[in-house]
Structure 1
Amino acid sequence: MSRPNCEDFRQLFVNDTPLMDMRAPVEFEQGAFPTSVNRPLMQDSEREAVGICYKEQGQEAAIALGHELVHGDIKAERIAQWKAFCEANPDGYLYCFRGGLRSQITQQWLKEAGIEYPRIVGGYKALRRFLIDTIEQVAQQPMTLIGGNTGCGKTIMVNELESGLDLEGAANHRGSSFGRYVTKQRTQIDFENVLAVSMLKKQALGINQFVLEDEGKIIGSVSVPLPIHAAMQEAPIAIVDDPLDVRLARLTDDYVVRMQRDFVAHYGEELGWTRFAEYLERGMFSIRKRLGLERYEQLLQVQQDAVRLMQSSGSLDGHEGWLKPLLEQYYDPMYTYQLSKKADRIVFRGEYDEVKAWLVDKTA
């Protein structure tokens, strides 16, 4: 009734095995696994009280306090939640931080309720270590980067390629000043966990060389894992050279059409439009110093006018007025400078379909 070795961990993640996390909510929020659900043995305040007791009076007293805090109706309610999870996920597992006391108590209480349910030996800590090791191991394998100016569809291509690893998708952020989504960005730990699981699934398909987008060290509020970032500094780069009009069309769809739709779907019509306008305004505000105050104020006005036109008539015409100069005057010069420092690593250039075909052939 346990998962004793790393090969089992691999299959657990590749197969999207349901996991019941017995840790307190504060632990879960800091980082968890993609298929885990938090069904804590103790809530945050209970865990804190037991922890203080353990330090001051020892394990026996702490266990006694835990049983005192979680008993009667509270205990019955939690067991009912666990039973519901176990019955809905008969192929799942439970774990606590180290696979120790909390998960063992949960197992025992479930057994008394008539359910035998397996736990992860080593718990969250062992699973997390396995995913960190996976990232470090993948960083040693061959990789190629997709480069190109903003709007060249690099992230789209990464997701179209069987060998692609989507760093931005794992981070839930597109990496630019306008890169956030309606849903909040993942924590650093969640980002790394999602990325590692993606790597494991690629490896299960027999993939042993990877394609990633040419990223900076930071994606929104998270950092690219150091081993991956270090490997990216040495990797060959294929550059997408798409025309400006093609790039503008992609950016309009990504930053304007889809984001407006997502904000309205999430917040409702009126508040959704307000949040959408704020999202675009904050994106512009975040690069105001690099734009210069006068140019920032000009582009912001054009952007706000474009949102009003879009809301009143559905027309997208006004958005090119701020997107195009943003590309020509800010993003393109910045990326051209960055790319100049990597010129010796550029191994192929072409339009989108040409680069994609080259990468498919290279990673076959």
Structure 2
Amino acid sequence: MRQVVDVAEFLHCPGLILDVRSPGEFFQGHIPGAQSFPLFSNDERAEVGTCYKRQGQETAIELGLAIVGPKLAGFVTQAKALAPDRRVRLHCWRGGMRSNSMTWLLETAGFQVTLLRGGYKNFRHWVRSTLATPKTLAILGGMTGTGKTEILAALAEQGEQVLDLEDLANHRGSSYGSLGLPAQPTTEQFENHIALVWSQFNHQRPVWIEAESRRIGLCRIPDEIFQQMLQAPVLQILRSRPKRIEILRQVYGSVKPEQLIEATERLRKKLGGLRTQQAVEAIHQGDLTTAIDLVLDYYDKTYTHDLQRRGVPIHSIDIADASPATSATLLMEKTQDWLITSQTTPIATTAT
């Protein structure tokens, strides 16, 4: 007998998740880890939808059956290859005909199927509700090149709760942020990933998040999370400018010069014509140190402006040449006092 369960239980049930919506729907957003298993192609879904609007439900159902009929054996063969244990979780948009039809087919073929009540639409309601759940945040600040990403990873390795937004967005949050990284997800898919991570955090412990602008590349941070970020204390790490340039050289040193130049040209209005031309020429000459130094002034001013607008306690610590692991340990030692102090301190302070 099939199981029909709510989102929280569905996410923890055994079995591969099969998403029977069209490829286009899946691309826009899906449950992380799900496998696209479309009942209809994009064109077929559009054809059935048009038929429904023009000729009614009965005719649309007949058309759908005519389209799907020749595919039935193929669906079973594909499902067996994807889930050899014949145990799957399955959903469509709202738990309607598509998921019920596929469930009937797979159960007939001997599969154990768990259905998501309300389908992907219900999952998206769960996402919004989950993102709105408040947490205690520790915002990790620091100018470009201070190594915040590596420190976040070290914090996670040492057992801290970390939400790495740039990792989930496949972007480092600057004009150069997409270089060397996979394509970004849609904002909807970005939200889905965040919600799954967010739901696993213990609300009694702080969650570390890097200070970010509202957008990371093309991905928009959910308002529910971003508003919490704006109100949380900032734990700002400091490094010397030469050390920051060294770190950025390590990050972007293997990127093709033409890609670096294209990213620099996107900043022309903000950098100014002369500074942009100087940076581009330095890249042509293989002098990344000079190019990075020229661009850093703009990013430093932008970072300082954004930080000052927050109006929250800012606690700074100079980590000099410390490794990510050492920096993480130092931050963990300081965090508890900082978070307690931030509840009663109305203006920025500096801790060393």
Q: TM-score range by the shorter chain?
A: 0.7 to 0.9
What displacement does 1:221 show?
0.7
Q: Tell which deviates more after alignment, 219-228 or 91-100.
A: 91-100
Partner of 1:282: 262
- After superposition, where does 1:135-154 map in structure 2 within 5 Å? 135-137=131-133, 140-154=134-148
Instruction: List gaps (5 residues or longer) in structure 2.
Output: 338-352
- The alignment status of 1:134 with 2:130, answered yes or no, reads yes
Matches within 5 A, 1:1-364: 1-9=2-10, 11=12, 18-72=16-70, 74-87=71-84, 90-137=86-133, 140-161=134-155, 162-180=160-178, 181-203=180-202, 208-257=205-254, 260=255, 276-306=256-286, 318-327=287-296, 329-342=297-310, 344-351=312-319, 356-361=328-333, 362=335
1:199-220 Cα offsets, whole Å, 9 max, x none, are 23334xx764211111111100
Identity %: 32
Structure 1 residues 84, 211: closer, same or farther in 2, change over 3 A? same
Aligned-residue offset at 1:344: 4.5
Report the counterpart of residue 311 of structure 1 in structure 2. none
Secondary structure of the corresponding residue to residue 38 of structure 2: coil
Runs of 4+ in 1 over 4 A off after TM superposition: 352-355
Provide the C-alpha distance between the structure 1 equivalents of 2:267 and 2:261, rounded to a whole number of angstroms: 10
The 1-side partners of 2:280 and 2:219 are apart by 27
Structure 1 residue identity aligned to 2:44:
E
Deviations 1:217-252 (A, max 9, x none): 110011110011111111100111111222112111
Cα distance in 2 between the residues matched to 1:251 and 1:67? 57
TM-score, scaled relative to structure 2:
0.85
CA distances 1:285-315 after superposition (whole Å, capped 9, x unpaired): 1111111112211211111221xxxxxxxxx
SS in 2 for 1:93: strand
CA distance in structure 1 between the aligned counterparts of 2:237 and 2:181, rounded to whole angstroms: 28
Distance 1:344 1:96, change over 3 A: closer
Could you say which residue in structure 1 is the equivalent of 2:348?
none
Deviations 1:162-197 (A, max 9, x none): 221111111111101100044111110111111111
CA contact (8 A) 1:239 1:355 kept: no
Structure 1 position 355, deviation (Å): 5.8
Change (3 A) 1:342 1:105: closer
How large is the Cα RMSD of the aligned pairs? Answer: 2.3
Which residue of 1 is the match for residue 347 of structure 2? none
**Which amino acid is 1:154 matched to?**
K
Offset of residue 147 of structure 1: 0.8
> Are the structure 2 counterparts of residues 2 and 256 from structure 1 closer, same or farther at C-alpha, using a change threshold of 3 Å?
farther
Decide whether the 8 Å contact of 1:9 with 1:130 is kept in 2: no
Alpha-carbon shift at residue 154 of structure 1 (Å): 1.3
Alpha-carbon shift at residue 2 of structure 1 (Å) = 2.8
- 30-39 vs 110-119, which deviates more? 110-119
**Aligned-partner SS, 2:5:** coil
For 1:195 and 1:167, the matched residues in 2 are separated by 8
- For the Cα contact (< 8 Å) 1:83–1:110, is it kept in 2? no
Question: Mean alpha-carbon deviation: is it higher for 37-46 or for 337-346?
Answer: 337-346
Contact 2:142 2:237 in 1 (8 A): yes
Please give the per-residue CA displacement for 1:34-87, whole angstroms capped at 9, x wherever unaligned: 201111011111111111122223222211110111222x33223321232232
**Closer, same or farther: CA 102–70 of 1 in aligned 2, 3 Å:** same
Structure 1 pair 278–90 and aligned structure 2 pair: CA distance change class (3 A)? farther
SS at match of 2:195: helix
Structure 1 stretch 118-127 or stretch 215-224: which is displaced more? Answer: 118-127
CA distance in 1, matches of 2:200, 2:233: 24
Residue deviations 1:103-123 (CA, integer Å, cap 9, x gap): 110111123333332222221
Letter in 1 for 2:196: V
User: TM-score if structure 1 supplies the norm length?
Assistant: 0.83
Change (3 A) 1:90 1:253: farther
**For the residues of structure 2 that align with 1:217 and 1:340, how far apart are their CA atoms?**
15
Indicate if the aligned counterparts of 2:238 and 2:316 stay in contact, CA closer than 8 A.
no
Q: Structure 1: how far apart are the matches of 2:184 and 2:245?
A: 25
Alignment partners' CA distance in 2, 1:120 and 1:83? 20
Aligned length: 326
CA distance in 2, matches of 1:247, 1:165: 23
- Paired with 2:136 and 2:200, the residues of 1 have a C-alpha distance of 17
In structure 2, distance between residues paired with 1:253 and 1:91: 45
Instruction: Return the structure number with greater helix share.
Output: 1
